[in-house]
Amino acid sequence: MLIQWYPGHMHKAGKEIREIMPQVDLIIEILDARIPFSSQNPLLAALRGDKPCIKLLNKSDLADPEITRQWQSYLERGQGVKTLASTIEQADRIRQIPDLCHKMLPAKEAGDRLLHALIMGIPNVGKSTLINILAGRAIAKTGNEPAITKMLQRIDIGNNIILLDTPGMLWPNLDNKNSGYRLAVTGAIKDTAIKHDDVAFFAAEYLLNHYADLLKVRFQLDQLPEGEQELMEIIGKQRGCLRSGGYVDMDKAAKLLLAELRSGILGRISLETPEMMEQELAALVIIRAEKEAKKKLRKQQWKSGR
């Protein structure tokens, strides 16, 4: 699966970030605690250099707590990286961020120069709500629809800190198809960009393999179905997602499953682990190498056929 969801304002924001990066003292990247790898932006790794970085694992109340701890340990192996797991409801915890910024840049405390912190996050990860908490007032527009912020903003949150707020960004192409599906499962990608049943089947397969007990409890299953197709049919019949003739309306059943997963009704679920992502990255290296080899072969064949 190749997802192409990269509005023009996001391309513009990427250029703006490159231009303002020399002014940035510290980076705050907001991640979805359920998908810390898939929700991070590779553009940041390319541009950050040695600038300190706070990775905030937001929506941690929806994620598997043990796996969140694994991710914090994994991410903090990076030089100059600190993590904080939180939710929008934990306003007091979020208000610790300014103090953490100053601790990561102790030289700034002695001077009067403002600390400029670039804040980044994919669509629908809660960035605007977090900014409003830090500022103590409604500055950033919030909403459940991805891509609310449209342009770079400078926000004074006090404590000698200026936030440089960027639009919620996805990157142009998602080479790892699983990351694309995970983003769709959590709602980071607009529902119009990919079919509900396709995303729900991916989620159903993952849940059967990793959170079978939660499925049994939620859908009152004595035994697990053999596959995602059967699971979706069970869900559809239980919840009345039926068409004439008693056939299951897969689109309605898919929307129902995704809604319950996104809201946490199914339970605290993480969709990826550090070990899983290491394996997928290793496989991706092989895939890219094979693509490059095929590209070179076609080029050679074209030259020899001239």
Which backbone phi and psi does 247 adopt, to 5 degrees?
A: -80, 145
pLDDT at 108: 60
Burial of 277 (0-12, 13-18, 19+ CB in 10 A): buried
Write down the pLDDT at residue 280.
Answer: 87
Burial profile 172-206: b = 16 or more Cβ within 10 angstroms, e = fewer: eebebebbbbbbbbbbbbeeeebebbebbbbbbeb
| % of the chain at pLDDT higher than 90 | 51
Average pLDDT score over residue span 169-174: 55
Q: What percent of the chain shows pLDDT beyond 70?
A: 85
How many Å apart are CA 164 and CA 143, to the nearest integer? 20
Please report the beta strands in the chain, taking only residues with DSSP state E, as ranges in sequence order: 26-32, 53-58, 81-85, 115-121, 153-156, 161-165
**CATH 1.10.1580.10 corresponds to the domain 195-263:** yes
Please list the residue range(s) of the chain that carry CATH number 1.10.1580.10: 195-263
Angle at 80 between CA 189 and CA 54, to 5 degrees: 40
Q: What is the pLDDT of residues 275-284, one digit of tens each?
A: 999 998 888 8
Nearest residue to 9 via CA among 182, 166, 197, 240: 166
Per-range mean pLDDT, top range of 30-34, 242-246, 286-290: 30-34
**Measuring CA to CA, which residue among 229, 252, 248, 226 is closest to residue 237?**
248
Of residues 61, 76, 56, the one with CA closest to residue 133 = 56
The structure's pTM equals 0.85
pLDDT at 192 over 70: no
The CATH 3.40.50.300 portion of the chain extends over 15-165
C-alpha span between 18 and 15 (Å, rounded)? 5
Asked if residue 38 has pLDDT above 70, the reply is yes
CATH of domain 15-165: 3.40.50.300
Average pLDDT over residues 7-30: 76
Does pLDDT of 270 surpass 90?
Answer: yes
Q: What is the pLDDT of residue 151?
A: 59
The mean per-residue pLDDT over the stretch 24-46 comes to: 89
